[in-house]
Structure 1
């Protein structure tokens, strides 16, 4: 099969590479994801990998010199690779190689090999495709493992025996599931069984590498595809046991509760239809993790999960730390979303006070819309009339909150009287009294005792200060 590159935006670049390789007496091939995506007519990736049966570092330097002598080439001698950037592309060159693995490491022993050897070491048949840029076979597709057929049939398959492939480099198990999720492919049966067999090997992979793949699953169009495969293969309980702890339905005295694991996957899919925000999707994934440790059967009441949002938000921190996820603002955002995830539901009532609405506004700040997106995604009932009723109720609460916000301005609340002003007013030095008075002002505004107004706040502080034995200086 011949690939016609004449209409490809990189045609001129590929011809230059072909000429340089010819002059260097080296072979050159495009390999990996660029070939796969080209054949699938997907948006072309900006990184292109090239293999040569020779020294990849020498070829990279020669190509860069031909394109622009000022181009900076990054060389990685340990890996035998070199790369440089050109017109928004990341071009990487490597010498064809054979690989062998030690049992307790995913770092291979490498020796010089042929293109065929290099294709054999690839993770999946759809990534083992190569296109020749050599002068006498320019554009020829080299497909030793029927990768084209697997693309057409939407199948993830390893070029060699799957158990050995996954045992050698266990990260490939995550990659198989990631490709199944992002490309909407199926993992071939033998390969799927091999992942189940080798699942424990994932423990030798760094959590950072695992999370790169996991987050790509989370950002796929329908994350549950990958999450179900992670659960089915036994990888998920090794990575996030807090999630698989939600599986199952218990029955006591004829009363059951829903399976919170499968419910969670529905919520993640629902929210993914409305946002590409990775951390909001994580909030959906973790919004019920506090339910397993708080689950309790109460006589006369049934199953309860009292305080699961509060406990779940506390669990987020240790979970992010263990998973090597960002511990700064992203983690705090997920914590906030999990903690507040049930609050709007409690406000769906004609008798809801403005105070409760003000507190939700105060606690959610700029993330209120994201919180409502999460709450709507949490509606997983299959009853259409119930679904419409819940969504209508949320719109009602959103309107009430908008009215309160316009009136009281408590979103991203800033006290109408500052700590410095209080110190000046009572001739005080910094101390606990200042914090007490500022907190009292905040509570008074949230409870509706005073308006969010400077004069009212000042008068309120003077009155409250008397209780503390303070008088204006």
Structure 2
């Protein structure tokens, strides 16, 4: 099978072929670019394997591309990188690898193309395309990767137990590719993941979370999570999520399975947003339900305060999983804490005061919060879902009307602490905070508008109640 026609949009590859010929070495495209070319998926990363020095080949290619092309050399890894437009091209010499049991970092030596393909993780990533004279564009597919692409199967080229023992991160990658491509994992390969799952402990959490985030970003992320769960990997890397699984019954009363509910919420969010951190909020919105679960004979099961407990769990989970402890974490924490508020409002008579408070607390993240809350409606009763959605529409319209009128998204009372101190001749004191909070509450309750004159008059009245006099 020849892919010469498909390579025409990538003229840089002809430069690679010419440079390889001049150096007297063989060169092949290998890995993900080949897979994506066949699947007609967009790919900006091209891996070139040279049967010789990858660094030397990269430098000659750069010379042919012009004086503005810079080569990044990584001598410790024997690789070099060139950027050409929006393409990133990595060059490496063909390698043979061997592993020690306590590390996923291989001992490397020069090898043949066959050696290099043997070390690849999956058959669909082990295919190569020749860049050599006489065979340019020809597919090199020793493990029937093309057949596995047609069958939509993830399979290792060699014994899967050895493959996963050598580099346990490949277990996460198998599930990630299955989730991204909507492929099945071949039974022997999946059985090997189950058997070798404990080997994941030698992999850094940063690398694990990187693969997990790619699963979360996939079109239907629940598929990847179900594979992680059934393989036993999820219990090791994310035990809090596994604790959500299961239904407990007492006196004929049961609660829903919060694991599968969470996955449904995650998929619902994935249909409306590509935002990774909104998807994390979906994953963590009910994470504290196991810790807050209680049974009452009259009312059945409850998870009182799970939103507050869950919000406190967010930084702990982010820290352990080496996720960013910055505004991304704070965004997830805020949405977990607030995720019940719009749902409660949709069940009750809507008051302007409650709406104002929600707008103030959510701020710029109100749309993300509403997306999460809509996704959280997962009842199997269509009438219940219809009623919830209808009420939610009313809440959203009310929020829009209030925001237009009161501009509360980045709410700050017009009267500051400094103004209060100046008006009553005070230094920083408890009374300043009391008056400031009273003004804030009055604005949120709609007693006074957030405008200078009425708010200032309210401040004077509050001060006089406390025995203060305007200076």
TM class, shorter-length:
over 0.9
Deviation at 1:382, TM superposition (A): 2.2
Gaps in structure 1 of 5+ consecutive residues: none
Which stretches of structure 1, 4 residues or more, deviate above 6 A after TM superposition?
none
- After TM superposition, list the pairs within 5 Å mapping 1:196-215 onto structure 2: 196-215=194-213
Give the equivalent residue in structure 2 for 1:409. Answer: 407
> Of 39, 43, 50, which residue of structure 1 is paired with 2:48?
50
> Of 124, 127, 130, which residue of structure 2 is paired with 1:129?
127
Q: What is the rounded CA distance, in whole Å, between the counterparts of 1:132 and 1:430 in structure 2?
A: 76
Q: Which moved more, 1:13-22 or 1:217-226?
A: 13-22
On the 8 A contact 1:257/1:303 being kept in 2, the answer is: yes
Q: What is the rounded CA distance, in whole Å, between the counterparts of 1:369 and 1:57 in structure 2?
A: 49
Give the equivalent residue in structure 2 for 1:453. Answer: 451
Gaps in structure 2 of 5+ consecutive residues: none
Q: Which moved more, 1:397-406 or 1:307-316?
A: 397-406
Give the equivalent residue in structure 2 for 1:268. Answer: 266
- After TM superposition, list the pairs within 5 Å mapping 1:308-457 onto structure 2: 308-349=306-347, 351-457=349-455
Q: Which moved more, 1:461-470 or 1:193-202?
A: 461-470
Deviation at 1:30, TM superposition (A): 0.3
Give the equivalent residue in structure 2 for 1:41. Answer: 40
- Aligned CA distance change for structure 1 residues 429 and 54 (closer, same or farther; 3 Å): same
Give the equivalent residue in structure 2 for 1:16. Answer: 15
On the 8 A contact 1:348/1:393 being kept in 2, the answer is: yes
Give the equivalent residue in structure 2 for 1:285. Answer: 283
Deviation at 1:69, TM superposition (A): 3.2
Q: How many residues align?
A: 471
RMSD: 1.4
On the 8 A contact 2:117/2:126 being kept in 1, the answer is: yes
Q: Which TM-score applies when normalising by structure 1?
A: 0.97
Q: Structure 1, residues 282-324: CA drift from partner, whole Å, max 9, x if none?
A: 1111100010000011121111100000000110010011111
Q: What is the rounded CA distance, in whole Å, between the counterparts of 1:63 and 1:407 in structure 2?
A: 62
- After TM superposition, list the pairs within 5 Å mapping 1:55-204 onto structure 2: 55-204=53-202
Q: What is the rounded CA distance, in whole Å, between the counterparts of 2:5 and 2:126 in structure 1?
A: 19
Deviation at 1:385, TM superposition (A): 2.1
Q: What is the rounded CA distance, in whole Å, between the counterparts of 2:467 and 2:101 in structure 1?
A: 73
Q: What is the rounded CA distance, in whole Å, between the counterparts of 1:431 and 1:350 in structure 2?
A: 39
SS of aligned partner of 1:137:
coil
Deviation at 1:463, TM superposition (A): 2.0
Q: Which TM-score applies when normalising by structure 2?
A: 0.97
- After TM superposition, list the pairs within 5 Å mapping 1:177-256 onto structure 2: 177-256=175-254
Q: What is the rounded CA distance, in whole Å, between the counterparts of 2:165 and 2:431 in structure 1?
A: 63
